[in-house]
Structure 1
Amino acid sequence: MLKTRPAIFASLRFYSQNAEKPPLKLVAELRKLTEVSITKAREALAASNNDVSAALDWLQKDLAVSGAKKAAKVAHRAAGEGLVSASILSRGTGSSDGHGGVRAALVELNCETDFVARNALFGRLVADVAHTAAFLAESGSSRQLERTYVHPVPREQLLDAPLLSAEGPGLSPATRAGLGSQGTVGSAIRDSIAKLGENIVLQRAVTVTHDPIPRVRGDLGLRIVSYIHGGVLPTQGRIGALALIALKSPRLTPLLGTLNFCEELERIERSLARQIVGFDTSSIRGEEEGALYNQPFMMFGDALEGETVEAGLARWARQKQLVLDTDGTDAGGLEVAEFVKWTIGETADAL
């Protein structure tokens, strides 16, 4: 036995000396570009003769195959965790972005565990999906405030859409490398399933869009506001809402030209969004307990004790001179036109 050991050790030494391993420098470079594991980076480089460009192509093809296999394998698993994410590209009347139009989206992306829901890769994915939905949303022109501006997006339509980065083109390492820069929302979800090992499901998505109101109607305005709670980032969490705010006043244009009014407007808008999220809000008006306007305005710091949301909005509009008395008739005001509120785990009956 003792005589055979040198021969064994010699064969082991011979094998280790002749097995060509990818240099650590190239492994580190590939991981920086793609964020893949060390094992996968070595495998890609070994299959590509240590050519980084070829390794990127290999990884792209491998990810597509492994993602499809993994997605099929875990498709039966329940996905009860995840994130609600909002993307607002244009806030509406008086904002510097979007020339006064409204363009926003709210999406819910589900996974299996809270651990994955808090993963940075999953967070970037849901941000990109929300950005894509908002960017590709179709808007229509209308001068009627009574129109519905919140529209559900068919899941299959969004899954087939090209994925757009919320960070902008070329900013993420994977995008710079060309890994993940192509493809659809659906393929991006499959790729993430392969990387994270959990079932990931696009549960639902809505968009809120409205073209700028013509200048001839300078007394009207629509604005969008969001509030998300229970997440690491302010635009992602376990519960969130988008609220469409309608403004009407003969003094709207000059008021929006003053910094103080705009700051106060943003503060009460955020208070309304927090109110919707913080309470069991199911409607705007009505006799039911979940009606927003019947709730005590707890999220607005300037609200009087016991004052309802409806009364608080009316008082605020008068204080800020948004409402003027004309022959005894109130001309103007601020109101919540529409809202959508989601909590992770709810059933998306509309979709």
Structure 2
Amino acid sequence: MLSSRITRLSSPRKASRAYSTPSSKPSLQLVAQLRKLTEVSISKAREALVASNNDVNAALRWLEEDLATSGARKAAKVEGRDAREGLVSVSVLSSGSTANSGLGGGGIRAAMIELNCETDFVGRNTLFTQLAADIAHTAAFISEPVESDRLINSCPLDVLNDAPLLSRTNPQSHSSSTVSSSIRDLIAKVGEKVSLKRAVTVVQSPLSQHTTELGLRLGSYLHGSVNSTPQGRIGALAVIGLKAQKLSNRLSSEAFMRDIERLERAVARQIVGFETKSIQSFPGEADGMALYDQPFMMLGGDAANETVRTGLDKWGQEHGLLEGGVEVLEFAKWTVGDVE
């Protein structure tokens, strides 16, 4: 009896009938199409197509449900782990005063976030770096001005987690995923704990058109950037105030705008490159921790032998600003894994 069963199982005719159903083996073309749409593994694409009778749209829905279920399970499993690696990511949608923003006016809209994971390997993964950039873009886009004495303000994580995730590279795309569900989905893909640690935003409306002498600009810098994206291991935002008679005339100069952008970057690099804790020194503070007391190494030229305060004053004089016409008003500096 056993031999007869083996004979039947090994019969070519029977074998051909066993693989004749349409859903038993999806074509390579369908598998490739589904992977292009979702970036899932070959085995998972085949599983989804088999479960949906080779219907690609149904397979996409199956994968979405499977990812939500597996992501929730993996998120619960890794919740207690330490996640001290990752990236600081910055998104600048508007950097402040320009010639086109009115008489010295111009708004700032930007955000900085820290997204954590367990290992540096995942922190450099393309899926991780893309999600970090998209979360920063989302924070900058959805935030509104708040009543505060500060220019750089914390972004509530519960609000950001519930927000629809917006793509940095494809702003016109629409997704049903939120920031929190996107983090959960990434956990399912990489198998590590991923968590949004903190977020700040700078959302300043254009200054009044009657304020013809004042302007605001934003500088940013990231050290240890990954995949040519605006993120790294250390990041800084710096809000800079400008004061000049008929400032809008200067802002209309391409040369002035190139110089101010270079200055903004130098200030932000200075904050990142030194152990900067404050703008001006306070009693009892260690030498070198106040920005204005540091040698202005990041501006280059003669400024390397002068303090940041002196370098800013000279820059203002050379560019026709009023006395004290360049001030660093606020900054935020983060290093991945910092204890808050």
| TM-score, normalised by the number of residues in structure 2 | 0.90
Q: Which residue of 1 aligns with 2:142?
A: 136
Distance across 2 between alignment mates of 1:121 and 1:58: 21
SS at match of 2:218: strand
Residues 22, 42 of structure 1: 8 Å contact kept? yes
Unaligned runs of 5+ in 1: 176-180, 324-329
Q: Which residue of 1 aligns with 2:313?
A: 314
Q: Which residue of 2 aligns with 1:80?
A: 84
Distance across 1 between alignment mates of 2:101 and 2:163: 24
Distance across 1 between alignment mates of 2:51 and 2:140: 40
Q: Which residue of 1 aligns with 2:250?
A: 255
- Residue 36 (structure 1) aligned with residue 40 (structure 2): yes
Letter in 2 for 1:306: N
Deviates most, 161-170 or 213-222? 161-170
Residues 241, 339 of structure 1: 8 Å contact kept? yes
Change (3 A) 1:95 1:40: farther
SS at match of 1:198: coil
Change (3 A) 1:191 1:91: same
Superposed counterparts of 1:37-76, under 5 Å: 37-76=41-80
SS at match of 2:49: helix
Residues 163, 188 of structure 1: 8 Å contact kept? yes
Corresponding residue to 1:201 among 195, 199, 203: 195
Change (3 A) 1:110 1:140: closer
- Residue 340 (structure 1) aligned with residue 332 (structure 2): yes
- Superposition deviation, residue 18 in structure 1: 4.1
- Superposition deviation, residue 200 in structure 1: 0.1
Distance across 2 between alignment mates of 1:309 and 1:61: 55
Residues 141, 211 of structure 1: 8 Å contact kept? no
Q: Which residue of 2 aligns with 1:10?
A: 11
Change (3 A) 1:305 1:40: closer
- Superposition deviation, residue 60 in structure 1: 1.1
Distance across 2 between alignment mates of 1:322 and 1:61: 59
Letter in 2 for 1:87: S
Change (3 A) 1:155 1:90: same
Q: Runs of 4+ in structure 1 displaced over 3 angstroms?
A: 3-19, 95-99
Distance across 2 between alignment mates of 1:191 and 1:273: 34
Letter in 1 for 2:328: V
- Superposition deviation, residue 53 in structure 1: 0.8
Deviates most, 201-210 or 249-258? 249-258
Q: Which residue of 1 aligns with 2:294?
A: 295
- Superposition deviation, residue 197 in structure 1: 0.9
SS at match of 2:111: strand
Q: Which residue of 2 aligns with 1:237?
A: 232
Corresponding residue to 1:152 among 132, 151, 154: 154
- Superposition deviation, residue 121 in structure 1: 0.6
Distance across 2 between alignment mates of 1:117 and 1:97: 38
Change (3 A) 1:170 1:250: closer
Distance across 1 between alignment mates of 2:172 and 2:234: 30
Corresponding residue to 1:120 among 126, 132, 139: 126
Q: Which residue of 1 aligns with 2:165?
A: 163
Change (3 A) 1:61 1:305: closer
Residues 22, 46 of structure 1: 8 Å contact kept? yes
- Residue 277 (structure 1) aligned with residue 286 (structure 2): no
Change (3 A) 1:24 1:170: farther
Change (3 A) 1:170 1:261: closer
Letter in 2 for 1:10: S
Residues 219, 268 of structure 2: 8 Å contact kept? yes
Residues 103, 207 of structure 1: 8 Å contact kept? yes
Residues 89, 97 of structure 1: 8 Å contact kept? no
- Superposition deviation, residue 303 in structure 1: 3.2
